[in-house]
Chains A and B, each alone.
Chain A
Amino acid sequence: MSKRKARDAHLPVGECISQVQEILRKRLCNQQLPDRPEGVEAQHKHLLELLKRTAVHGESNSVLIVGPRGAGKTMLLKCVLRDLLMEKEAQKNLLQVHLNGLLQTDDRIALQEMTRQLHLENVVGDKVFGSFAENLNFLLEALKKGDRSSSRPVLFVLDEFDLFAHHKNQTLLYNLFDVSQSAQAPVAVVGVTCRLDVLELLEKRVKSRFSHRQIHVLSNPTFRQYLERVQTQLSLQPGDLPDDKFAQHWNVSIKTLCEDKSVEEALQRHYNSSKDFRSNHMLLMLCLSRVSVAKPAIKPADLLEASRMCFIDAEANMLHGLSILELCLIIAMKHLNDLYEGEPFNLQMVHNEFKKFLQRKSNSMYNFEQPVIMKAFEHLQQLEMIRPVDSSTAKTQREYQLMRLMLDHTQVMEALQKYPQCPTDVKQWAMSAFG
């Protein structure tokens, strides 16, 4: 017995690493649920007992979980459901219907999906229903137990709730809320949305049937909590790994990492930009991906690198890849923007501007003829650094189509600084205030 433990104790490093990877990836990528949701205990409690009432005592309810993206709404809900299903009673009664606004794009599809999730396809068979309400009622009826007295509680989870509000006169929402109001069958309707103004989207008749119960999930932890969260996210629970020594070792390394000054600064920056879980996960994922057998721990350098990758300016990257000619055109556009305060322009004007520059310099290395310019211009459009004002491309010749520059002044200038072997005269031209 003790022998085996001893043998386990010395797994090769690679093995441990891969296991660590696996565990942490589950957390960071697959959004594995934590044992207890941190930061949202109150909401957790509230929602749990709300649902319990439906599941156990057969009360109807409706509630919205509102919060910005990545704040952990879904996590909260999932935790609650997990804990709810611990209960025997709930487990054997409760039926769940999960709908997602992204998938069920209209009520017909939604209804089919419901039927499926309630395993009633064969019951419904090929009946035709006059109205949506009829159909829904039929479903609920069908759920009644043998004795017609009480029926099983149903939990409707509507993810991306706001999208359901765009369905044709909100039939689904209306009916669900209606059922939840009238005591015909115990249902709980839980909407999850990231729009704080979601109630404005609801029609009056729908709104009136909604119990204005909202649970707000805004994770704004203090920086301390944020740091802690990072640490917990990265560190291993005891028992995750057979090799405890390595586990401890790992945790220690994480701890030291979080105490590092530079790391703290970096995290501070992230904290200021966004406090939610998702962005946090992304950052940590990037760190994790740099862990390998060669360096079996996350070093401050890794985290810094990762945060750099998060904060990188994509536009600058793309500008870096342009050819000199294209860069020149961009500069010309910038000048045009400065001149005519953001009026749209067409290729002719840009070319004209560029020509002015060439006349002033008079070295012949840049004088390309129209088609080459056109090609460059098209490439810029393809990269959507410039966009046509109106989408009717077929109507006008390409050289006259009005465009807008999608970059701002500073971006261009910075890109210019970073540009490899950028000719000085072009630089000066870009600097010069007059076109």
Chain B
Amino acid sequence: MSALLQHPGYEEERLQTVAKQLPCREVQAGMLLSLMGQPHQYSYPSIFIYGHQSSGKSHVLHVLLKELELPHATVSCVECVSVALLFEQVLLSFFGCVAASLLPRSPSLSDFVRIYRQQSSQSPAKQTRYIVMEKAELLRDSNANLLPALLRLQELVEDNVSVILLSEIVWDRFRPNTGCFEPLLLHFPDYSKGELQHILAQDRNPSYSDEFYSAYINILLGVFYSVCRDLRELRHLAALNFSKFCEPLAEGKVKETDTHKLWRNIEPHLKKAMQTVYLREVSSLQWEKMQQMEEKENGALRGLSAHTHVELPYYSKFLLIAAYLASFNPARTDKRFFVKHHGKIKKTNFLKKNEKTSNHLLGPKPFPLDRLLAIFYSVVDSRVAPTASIFSQISSLVTLQLLTQVSHSEQLDAPKYKCAVSMDFICAISRTVNFEIIKYLYDFL
């Protein structure tokens, strides 16, 4: 395969090492290399590489630039809290810290370009300089001129520099509305099942044979491939479940070749892993512990989402219930639910047929504070004085994210809230104070 990775201007063995490090990505690497051309030649001003998570975008680039010792600056846009950081990193890796220190307090693009120019005029590029931007989609959020400027940086600084943007998002979502210099688009396709098999099989456990491990990988992919194709995830899963897979071997029940038995042993286990590990409900450490202990108390260890129970003060519970009712019932139905001797409200005209979608599909609606309190006072069994602590409980519910305040915090006279808990949660809560909430929910009449 490494035949693809032949290019004048680079040493042969370097390319070989590169090829070794990039399984199943030779095509892309070759493509990229040919676009980059020989070190001293000009490369295309800006290249936009898109592809799914862990399809080897940054890996390929990193390996290429590092192994071939090309001058490059790699910047992750997540890290660039301010553009200053970005500029700094670029200058630092091209011209050293002296240049970086030339940047003023809060540098503008103009400053950056100026410094770059003067530096590059002092030390003109013998080889193409590469600026790699990971997670480029974040560039859109910062200064509006940043992206267009980067795209035509070569022209602006008059230096042999080429900007490479990496992203999971297609270029169409980037293009500013006044247009800009179009980069050269390059797609990294996702790994096919076979390729995944090939790659995963490489990091095998040294204490077992190749084909055994690859058989394992094969089974693993069989279970997870339909849900998840992310190499990182799969690797993680493979690592965690392997010991379980080996168990019967260790006990000497079966021999390595007997794949079917092994499959029957691991299959349900993997199914379980689907719920727990894949969702990271159980940390990998715990999962391993779980495998040490036998099936007998496997139930003992529950995932994160299993722990939904929250201990709340008595009135807070009722406040929460009231909030839930307020945000899932239309306001006009309050009379029917909470007024003791409401007049004759016929069920027929009370239930509007025109509302086809239930509120539990549309989600909670905001409600004003006094509606909440009104419902609260009618729901709670004992008579409650409107003390300060009741109100403080509301605000603390907000900080606990069980309620969310919709209106702005400076609007004091009529704050609006929204209930942010799930159906099951509220049901559990109301069970503890034995209040059957279902009777009071408009959707379940």
Contacts and interface: CB of A to CB of B under 8 A. Distances in A.
Are A and B close enough to touch in the complex, i.e. CB under 8 Å?
Answer: yes
Interface of A: 14, 17-18, 21-22, 25-26, 28-31, 69-70, 74, 100-105, 109, 112-113, 116, 162-163, 194-195, 278-279, 282, 285-286, 289-290, 292-294, 309, 312, 314-315, 317-318, 320-321, 323-325, 346, 348-349, 352, 365, 368-369, 371-372, 375-376, 379, 382-384, 394-397, 399-400, 406, 420
Size category of the B interface is: 35 or more
B9 interface: yes
A314 B187 contact: yes
Given A30-B154, A321-B51, A400-B362, A25 B43 contact: yes
Interface stretch (B12-20, B89-97, B178-186): B178-186
B300 interface: no
A105 B107 CA distance: 12
Contact of B170 (A292, A314, A400): A314
B50 interface: yes
Contacts of A369: 275
B406 interface: yes
Contacts of A293: 8
A22 B279 CA distance: 51
Given A314-B185, A396-B404, A321 B229 contact: yes
B214 interface: no
Contact of B279 (A109, A317, A324, A371): A371
A70 B8 CA distance: 31
Q: Which 7 A-B pairs have the closest CB atoms?
A: A400-B363, A321-B190, A314-B170, A103-B110, A321-B52, A289-B34, A29-B42
Contacts of B228: 323
A312 B187 contact: yes
Interface of chain A: mostly helix, strand, loop or mixed: helix
B279 A382 contact: no
A397 to B, nearest CB: 6
Nearest to A279: B182
Given A25-B37, A396-B404, A278 B8 contact: no
A70 B181 CA distance: 8
A15 to B, nearest CB: 9
A26 to B, nearest CB: 6
B38 A21 contact: yes
B189 A317 contact: yes
22 contacts: A29-B42, A29-B43, A29-B44, A69-B179, A101-B145, A105-B109, A105-B143, A113-B114, A278-B182, A289-B31, A292-B7, A314-B171, A314-B172, A315-B170, A317-B50, A324-B226, A325-B226, A346-B363, A349-B357, A382-B168, A383-B169, A396-B404
Nearest to A281: B44
A314 B110 contact: no
A74 B40 CA distance: 25
A282 B420 CA distance: 51
A431 B129 CA distance: 49
B81 interface: no
Contacts of B310: none
B253 interface: no
B41 A318 contact: no
A194 B274 contact: no
A26 B41 CA distance: 8
